[in-house]
Amino acid sequence: MRFTPKALFHRTNRGILLDIVVFLVNLFLMRMLMERFVDLVNAAYGDDGIAQLALLLYFVSLLFLAPVGAVLKRWHFHQRLSQNGDDKALEPNGCLFSPILYYAVIVVIYALIDAILFQYFYPDSQPPPVLFIGTVAFGLVAMGIHTWLVYRYFSPPKNPPTSTFLLSPLSEAFGDVCIFVNMLFFQIIWNILSSGFVHPKSGYDVFANLLGMTFAALLIYFPPRMIYLAEDIGRRRTWFFILLANLPVIYHALFGSGHAINLIR
């Protein structure tokens, strides 16, 4: 089937639209977003309460946007599969769909949230051991629920949702907004990491940068892209647009200037 600009806005091409948005943001806006993020981190490190709250909300959003988007889109996704005659449950496998890698990313995000909260409430002392243990226990449960909600997206629901909103097209539209915002928030981290790649002086340096970028992509790029990847992974053009979205990051990885963005000045 021929792919046209009009088809870009079809529900089944949301992943490609996301890749194009990521490419444009990386090309024209990301430098500014990174500088604002670094300023926010430095202000939070300097005990600015508002900056700490903003940073906390940023990381908390990374915990909620993906599962909310998955819940809002799940029914509509499987309805499309059944209408296409493919109503079998998807079985995500391979490193791109690894729940272990995904859970590891969520653990890092939750650890950052914990650190910000303890820094805010206990800036000059250690938190009580009971509180620390309690947040760890709560985090293990919360991270498990998060991962379960995201991976539940791949299995067809047994019954229609009882909520009228979840049955409406508006539900999927809001789910798409959550996934787009989640991806763009992850892109800030992705680009800050890529800014640390040094300028290669040999083939070994190029290989090392490329290897590091590939590993980072498994942790930072593909998890927020995963929900759309479930629908378009079999299309060859999908990989072209994923490559397009990451061209600015690949450039920094392979030909980095060596001027890393320092978070703490």
**What b-and-e string marks burial along 43-57, b requiring 16 or more CB atoms within 10 Å of the CB?**
bbeeeeeebbeebbe
Residue 135 φ/ψ, nearest 5 degrees:
-70, -35
The burial of 187, by beta-carbon neighbours within 10 Å (0-12 exposed, 13-18 middle, 19 or more buried), is given as buried
- Compute the distance between CA of residue 227 and CA of residue 245 in angstroms, rounded to an integer: 16
Above 70 in pLDDT, residue 258?
no
The single-letter code of the amino acid at 264 is I
Instruction: Provide the residue ranges of all domains of the chain, joining segments of one domain with +.
Output: 6-255
Report the chain's mean pLDDT, rounded to a whole number. 86
Lowest mean pLDDT among 23-27, 44-48, 191-195: 191-195
Tell me the pLDDT tens digit for each residue of 97-143: 888 889 999 999 999 888 888 887 887 778 888 988 999 999 999 99
Residue pair 254/33 in contact (Cβ under 8 Å)? The answer is no
Above 70 in pLDDT, residue 87?
no
What pTM was estimated for this model as a whole? 0.89
Tell me the pLDDT tens digit for each residue of 137-183: 999 999 999 999 999 999 989 899 999 999 999 999 999 999 999 99
Write down the pLDDT at residue 259: 47
- Compute the distance between CA of residue 196 and CA of residue 170 in angstroms, rounded to an integer: 40
Above 70 in pLDDT, residue 3?
no
The burial of 242, by beta-carbon neighbours within 10 Å (0-12 exposed, 13-18 middle, 19 or more buried), is given as buried
Residue for token pair 């909620």: 64
Mean of pLDDT values over 62-85? 91
Write down the pLDDT at residue 202: 79
